[in-house]
Amino acid sequence: MKIAIIGAGFAGLTTARHLRDFGHDVTVFEKVHDVGGVWSTTRLYPGVSTQNGKDTYCLSDFPMPKHYPEWPSGQQVQAYLNAYADQFGLKPLIRLSTPVTHAAQGPDGRWTVTFQPPEGEASSEGFDFLTICNGIFSAPAIPDFPGAAEFRAAGGTLCHSSEFLDADAARGKHVVVIGYGKSSCDVAVGLVDAAASMTVVARELIWKMPKKLAGVLNYKYLFLTRMGEGLFPYIHLKGFEKFLHGAGKPVRNSMLGSVQSVITKQLKLKKLNALPRGSFERIARSTVSLVTDGFFGLVDQGRIAIKRDTAIAQLLVEGGRRFALLKTGEKIPADIVICGTGWRQEVPFLDPALQARLLDDRGNFRLYRCILPTGVRNLAFNGYNSSFFSPLSAEMGALWIAALLGGALTLPSESAQLDVTDRRLRWMEARTEGKHARGTNIIPFSMHQIDELLEDMGLGIGAMQRFMEWQMPVKPGNYARVAKSLHRRLDKPQPALGKPAMA
């Protein structure tokens, strides 16, 4: 098939590689000048790094370089993805600086993709199949603050965390960072040396996980294992998870309570008035956030101020000076306001009628296995899930799509697909208190989602590997066999039409 892929991040690149390897004619459209997606050089804000160690945040047959630190910088991840594209010959398939402006499906199910080349007028091209890999972190969400226009007119800067790339631009300025997630804290630490003052405004404090618990135990041994996932109840409980949330629940609760106690003491959360409301278990209701190196030390030193349980009510200009007025009534100096306020999950290049078919009545993406829009032909998504193991999840998603196109995947009926999808969305709504990014946040159940894809493909990883992953961090390299197994299945000569297959 002739296939268009939108986006050249982890999902787009691994989808291009595997669909090409299974014989499809692939074209990748990327709106910026380089590969990387969220790791593109166009959005590497000061201090950005991975939340995973390099041994768990990679594609299965392309480990990160040995000389990389345990938590690679954003620049290193971008270089890794660029090297992946070179290693597997993907560059000729990718059209950089070529945003897709429209993708329309005809009555025959084929797609007409309209795009803007770097030079010249907009063009269109036909494709048999479309895979959307622009991701759930591609459209910055910035609040509409009263007074924003006047603030900007007076020389103030208001932008998203992904858009503030030059630390020198903050030199001598009063900086206010909105949000308490990883990007917000990364930016605060990255700019604190240049800024005249640094304030973090947080509507709600969330629990954060140190990279090393008590300064010793790497967090990957707690959260990047199947045991770590099993501490939180999945939509379906089976095996040892039934014990953890049944007769063994006191043991499970004690484990989480111990972690909470250690983190509270280690980070001095009570002293710093930074203790989140609720128990540590709430860390799993949305995206799990790691502690940014040095953040709480800077708070302790008074170099970063946290304004908790509040938000900006208005941006002000008084006497030529710029301020942020908080909902508590406090007014703080603000020359630069940086919003770590998340992303809009959207596909603006699709027709509104088609977009409506992709969503439920609450605006959540209604995707079977986070990939397939039930009832829409020749369309798939990949990377539309927030995962601890985003590269591995995207790679397994790419293989799932390849299996589907190759006839090696038997889907349930459309009604059964919708039932599974809607049941998951209702569960996510309750589990995350509504913070599930329109149905795309699967943390902390990353391996559960990968297991479902493997089960659909009839490709297992073996009982011993599964057992080891209960105790040790998941290693993407152990999943390289999945592509090989699928190739053995799909590359076999098929029996002639109308003749029975040989036993």
DSSP 138-204: SEE-----TTHHHHHHTT-EEEEGGG---GGGGTT-EEEEE--SHHHHHHHHHHTTT-SEEEEEESS
Structure confidence at residue 499 (pLDDT): 31
Give the tens place of pLDDT for each residue, 253-293: 999 999 999 999 999 999 999 999 988 887 766 667 889 99
CB proximity list for 334: less than 8 A, separation 6 or greater: 156, 174, 175, 176, 199, 315, 322, 323, 324
Q: Does residue 319 come out as left (phi exceeding 0), alpha (psi in the -120 to 50 range) or beta?
A: left
DSSP 344-394: E---TTB-HHHHHHHB-TTS-B-EETTTEETT-TTEEE-S-SB-TTHHHHH
CB proximity list for 318: less than 8 A, separation 6 or greater: none
CB proximity list for 217: less than 8 A, separation 6 or greater: none
Structure confidence at residue 51 (pLDDT): 85
Helices 390-405/10-21 angle, 10° precision: 30
3-class DSSP state for residue 322? strand
CB proximity list for 119: less than 8 A, separation 6 or greater: none
**459-481 as b/e: b if 16+ CB within 10 A:** bebeeeeeebbeeebbbbeebeb
**Which segments in the chain show pLDDT lower than 70?**
284-287, 434-439, 492-503
